[in-house]
Structure 1
Amino acid sequence: MTPLLSWLTAVLVGVAPPPPGRTRELSTRDRELLAVCQTDQFRRVDVRIASIVEWRERRGRPYRTIPPDASLPEGHIAFTFDDGPDERATPKIRALLAACGVYGHFFIPGTRVGGPKARWAIAELKGLLAEGHIIGTHSATHPSFTRGVVTSRDRRRELDRGREALEATLDIHPVLFRLPYGEGHWDSEVLFEISRAGLVDLHWNITSDDAKDKAPKEPGFQGLTADEVLARIERSLDFSRRPGERLGHGVLVVHDTNYRIAALLPTLLNRLVTRGYTFVRFVGPLVEGRDAEEDTGVPRRD
């Protein structure tokens, strides 16, 4: 029985293991598509978080925010991944990013580093950190901040516990936060609570719709087809262009719980490099002058 047939048989009886791709092995096609990353066409840059944070005020209360496009210039794009790590998709995504030299920002619910799969998740996240990726918090239990937790006390509990879970298991002090479902980014009360917790919400302006579930019986394959997700990203990227600009810009959101992201990533990276995009990593503290390793999602060093 071939590996694919074995996996399909397992799906039918309800005991499917993670589908192919949970390893870090790359196909010949993947390597061919990512070869462009080794040319002088490839560009990446670090952007200081403090340089994109804006202070606003409502009813005498100041709060931090970051514009959805992070005020990035034309042709600059930041990759963000929500809800992982996932055994089926994250290792392959990690391998693809490493092969291209692109850094990602991974937003992790606190529940991922607890429970039966915590040991694997913590090891995978430490691997991401060691390779230069940024880890942010995605709350403790992933509730909506506008429909689920609506009181100041409950929101603060989600913020604190989500951050503390990453601090305790990864020895980092994250400052980037991603609102679950993106809900609340335009609510000054929500943003005030996030600021009060020592965090700032990083939203997005380039979407993928990869979380729309059309195949609930395919674990790790939720969402649109890979081609549909890629087309959605292309349209959203085109829409992000400002008047007179040739290239789009901003923050892309996808989910590393969706194996289709791993499937489309080599093609997406190839197209972005070929078109002249620069890949962005957000680094440093919320406020300049502080120790960056105490104020961002990178490993501390003794």
Structure 2
Amino acid sequence: MIPRAIALGALGKAMQCKNGDQCHRKSAVRRQDAVEAICKSLATLISGDEELIETVAHKSRELDSKAEHGLDEQFAHSKKQLGILNNRISDLFEMSGEGTKADRDEIKSRLRSAQSERSAVQDEIDRLRRAVEGMTNTLTREQIRHRLSMMAEILHEAAAGELGDDAVYKALAVFRAVTGGAIMVRVEHRNKRKRTNVIGVFVPRLIRGFSSSLQTEDEDLATRPMTVWLRKPPRLDLIAERVHELIDVEKMSHREAAKQLQREGHKVNSGNVWYSYHRWYEMQGLAAPKVPYNNGKKRRSA
């Protein structure tokens, strides 16, 4: 992993490891390409994620319930204080004309102090009332879906370079919130090849990206790290993960996998699929298993 990447080149358009020539995995990526790749991945991750919508809705209800419970306790405490102060002020008013001048001056001083304290408590009660009216509002699924759609749209526009100056800061805020502001960079040497692969690794913080008030301590523990190509890899590597899914998970033959990839927009044949399949295992540091002819399926009769 690269600990930290810094800008280099004309106008800082590229990035490389802060250790420069001393880095044992020296490589550089174009900053724009890297940011675009991450923005696209985040936008895809956010768009239409029904599980995320349900989770945010649940946490919103949970937060609302806790907020109401906490505010109720604060209200009760503040109102009790207000009652005590009102009684104290009434008693002091009754005593205000009695005793010596020194006694009367002391009563006046205590009265002003109690009135000042009562004013502060009343302000606190007003603040709590505004908090109840403005903060304890459970989000509906439609509101959540709309806000996530806006976040995804900002990231899509950022990836396409279509943002104005003001919107750039909004995109940056979303970017930092969802990635946690930290993206590790992994450089992979390719066996018997000069060009390296550069991959970004980060833990998506989708709930925090939606609203920091919904964040929980254990959320990140249940979230898998996400990987993104920061520099477009060779086709062999680019489709390797998908080929692995088609052959090992969906049990397709090489020919079926090639047809599926063609439908997805890749110009490949069964021979390309064979190489990408073995490349996936090479990238994992494993030996590729021997796949039986037609992935073990019986041939169709003529």
Greater share of helix: 2
So what's the TM-score if we normalise by structure 2?
A: 0.24
User: Using CA pairs below 8 Å that are at least 6 residues apart, which structure has the higher relative contact order?
Assistant: 1
- Report which of the two structures shows the higher radius of gyration computed on alpha carbons: 2
